[in-house]
Structures are given as C-alpha cells and as structure tokens.
C-alpha cells in the first residue's frame, strides 16, 4: 500500500489547478487522485490509534471512523447544497462494496486458490443488517412516491421535494438506523468466543503479528489523522465545486459521478486491502471489509448525514429514487445469496462484477 503515497504529488497539483490554472476538469481529476492517498493515510492513522488503544476501543474507532473520508466528502457536498450528489454517493458506496469489491475479491482469490471459505454466521449477520438498512431507506421512499402520485406531481428523476411529513419520517428512520448500528456494536463486543476460530486463510503468523504492531507513535498517528483530514476537506471543496462544470463539459450526469466516481475516490485504499487479503486466501477478512463498510455506510453515515444537513438549512431526507432503491435491494439480495453457503468461487466473483457493470451502465444512461 506504500505505493499509494506516490500519488500525494497530486495534492499540490490540485491546489495549482484550483488557484492558478482555474481549469475545472484538471481540478476534478487531480482532486480525485489526490484524495486516494489521503483517504489511505486517514485509514492507516485510525488503524495505528486502534493498535495503541487496545482491541475494544480500537474496534470502536474502526467502527466509527472507517468511512470518515467519504463522510467528509459528503458533508462538504451537503454544505454546498449537493443533496442529490450525496444520496448518489451513498448508493454508490454500498453498491461498490457489495458488487465491485466483493466481486473482485472472489474473482482474484478464486482464480488463485479455487474454492475459498469464510465465516458464514458473521456474513449472515452482516447481510441481515444490510437488509434492515435497505428497508429503512425504502420506507421514506415508498411513502413519498405514494404521496407524490396522490398529488399528481411525481418526478421519478428528482428526490428533492418539500414535504414536512417526509422530513420528520426521515429523521425518525435515521434515528432508528443509528440505534440499530450502536446495538450491533454492543453485540459484537459482547459476543463470547465459544471456540478458537479455525484459520481459513494463509497460515502466516509472522505477518499477522507484524500487522498488529504499531509503526507510529500516538502523537504521529494523531498528527497524520489531523493533516489528512484537513487535506481531504480542502480537496473535497475543490472536487464538489468542479462537479457542475465537469457535468456540462464532459456530458456525464451528476448521478453517475456520485454513484461511480466519488465512492471509489473515498474508499479505494480500503478496497485495495480487501482484494489483497482475498488473494492471500484470507476471505474472512475480505468479506468483513466489504460487508462492514457497506453496513457502516447504510446504518451510520447515511442517517448521520440526515441530522448533519439540519445545520446547513436544507434537510436531506432518505427519499431515494426508485432506481436507486431497486439497485440497492438487488445488490443486498445478491450478496446474501452468494454468502449464504460460506464459500466463494471465481465464477461468483465474475457474476457480481457483471451485475456492477450493468448497474453502472444503467446509472450512466439514467442521468443522461
């Protein structure tokens, strides 16, 4: 993962494009590339702090800050009134984790090791939580669709409506989703280890021990965390500010950028780790990365953004387009089917990637 740090050269290039060149496409491209290593450093600093604080507090840190880079990007977008972009980013993050990253992990891991096995009960808990999350997103959407049909003003491509009842419903559903996420953390910390877990991946104790030894001190970890967070805030401002000009000049839709491009920028470092451990035949860890990240986006980040939006004077609701809800439901159902037997193969990975490609094409033409 150290090679990602070479991409830090794009941080000053993004500032150059923003303040000197004033070239919107270069601003967007350089900001996207520069956010990748900064997101990686943010995640690495969080991991280092987690090692220093011990397994319990460390687990809480990872559960709370695992998607902090994307949370920062979406908060910046919210501050600029880009609510549709934020919703698209939430959708894209979940789809990317469940279809793209899980698919790549199964494909590459399966091609190298054949049939791979992972913790079936843990995957079952994660997919059931994802099903609950999709239900939580579906309830405000169905409520508002029926309400708009009743009033005779339904616009299937827009989810920006003025409906006080929808605002209140979204706040209530968001609170419940956050509560369920907190309960899941309590459950995971209290769950007893009934028996030693049998290794399902590469039996490399030296590598595992090395990965749990801190490389940075606490002050260094906090410093990297603070600097990378500040850099992500500035680059997010550049990125979001360049969205509209890029949409106009390149002819791509804001929906497509939100679903495909922005989630990859915020999560690519974590995605690479998920694929790498699958190639090392550690599918337990790979599945945990994909499913846990999806669950955190759906149960914590999305509802948290609903409350954060109140500070910006334009409330974000959990009213998503019917196409987004359909794609989310399909991806969770597919992930559940694939993970229910506790085994994966390269063919299942190829199937997940094929679905992601079709979904991407659908969003490309939906927003065109």
Mean local confidence (pLDDT), 68-81: 86
Mean local confidence (pLDDT), 299-325: 90
Average pLDDT of the chain to the nearest whole number: 83
* Model confidence at 196: pLDDT above 70: no
* Model confidence at 194: pLDDT above 80: no
Confidence at 61, pLDDT banded by 50, 70, 90: low
Per-residue confidence (pLDDT) for residue 43, from 0 to 100: 76
Backbone dihedral angles phi then psi of residue 253, each to the nearest 5 degrees? -90, 155
Per-residue confidence (pLDDT) for residue 200, from 0 to 100: 35
Q: What percent of the chain has pLDDT over 90?
A: 25
Question: What distance in Å separates the CA atoms of residue 28 and residue 38, rounded to the nearest whole number?
Answer: 16
Question: What distance in Å separates the CA atoms of residue 368 and residue 354, rounded to the nearest whole number?
Answer: 21
**pLDDT tens digits, one per residue of 240-274:** 888 888 888 888 888 888 888 888 887 777 778 78
* Model confidence at 323: pLDDT above 60: yes
187 vs 211 pLDDT, higher one: 187
Q: What percent of the chain has pLDDT over 70?
A: 88
**pLDDT tens digits, one per residue of 159-178:** 777 888 999 999 999 999 99
DSSP-derived 3-state class of residue 344: strand
* Model confidence at 56: pLDDT above 80: no
**pLDDT tens digits, one per residue of 83-140:** 988 999 999 999 999 999 999 999 999 998 889 888 888 888 888 888 998 999 899 9
Per-residue confidence (pLDDT) for residue 304, from 0 to 100: 92
Residue appearing with tokens 């793209």: 100
Confidence at 286, pLDDT banded by 50, 70, 90: confident
| Segments in the chain forming alpha helices (H) | 10-16, 24-53, 55-65, 68-79, 83-95, 102-113, 120-151, 164-190, 205-211, 218-241, 243-250, 254-256, 262-279, 283-296, 302-308, 322-339, 346-366
* Model confidence at 191: pLDDT above 70: no
Per-residue confidence (pLDDT) for residue 272, from 0 to 100: 81
């Amino acid at each position: 993962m150290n090679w990602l740090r070479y991409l830090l050269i794009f941080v000053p290039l993004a500032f150059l494009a923003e303040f000197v060149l004033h070239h919107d496409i270069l601003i967007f491209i350089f900001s996207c590339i520069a956010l990748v290593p900064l997101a990686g450093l943010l995640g690495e600093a969080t991991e280092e702090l987690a090692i220093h604080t011990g397994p319990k507090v460390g687990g809480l840190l990872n559960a709370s800050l695992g998607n902090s880079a994307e949370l920062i990007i979406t908060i910046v977008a919210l501050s600029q009134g880009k609510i549709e972009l934020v919703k698209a980013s939430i959708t894209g993050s979940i789809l990317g984790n469940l279809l793209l990253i899980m698919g790549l992990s199964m494909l590459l891991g399966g091609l190298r090791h054949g049939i791979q096995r992972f913790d079936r009960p843990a995957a079952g808990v994660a997919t059931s939580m994802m099903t609950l999350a999709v239900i939580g997103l579906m309830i405000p959407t169905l409520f508002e669709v029926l309400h708009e049909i009743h009033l005779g003003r339904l616009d299937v491509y827009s989810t920006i409506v003025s409906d006080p009842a929808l605002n209140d419903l979204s706040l209530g559903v968001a609170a419940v989703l956050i509560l369920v996420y907190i309960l899941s953390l309590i459950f995971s910390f209290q769950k007893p280890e009934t028996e030693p877990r049998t290794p399902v991946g590469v039996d490399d104790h030296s590598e595992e021990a090395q990965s749990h030894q801190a490389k940075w001190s606490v002050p260094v970890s906090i410093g990297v965390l603070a600097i990378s967070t500040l850099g992500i805030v500035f680059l997010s401002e550049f990125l979001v500010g360049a969205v509209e000009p890029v949409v106009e000049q390149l002819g791509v839709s804001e929906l497509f950028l939100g679903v495909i491009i922005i989630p990859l920028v915020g999560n690519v470092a974590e995605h690479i780790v998920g694929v790498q451990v699958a190639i090392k035949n550690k599918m337990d860890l790979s599945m945990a990365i994909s499913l846990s990240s999806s669950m955190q986006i759906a149960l914590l980040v999305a509802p948290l953004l609903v409350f954060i939006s109140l500070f910006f004077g334009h409330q974000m609701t959990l009213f998503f387009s019917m196409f987004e809800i359909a794609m989310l439901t399909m991806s969770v159902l597919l992930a559940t089917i694939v993970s229910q037997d506790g085994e994966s193969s390269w063919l299942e990975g190829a199937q997940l990637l094929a679905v992601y490609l079709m979904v991407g094409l659908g969003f490309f033409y939906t927003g065109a």
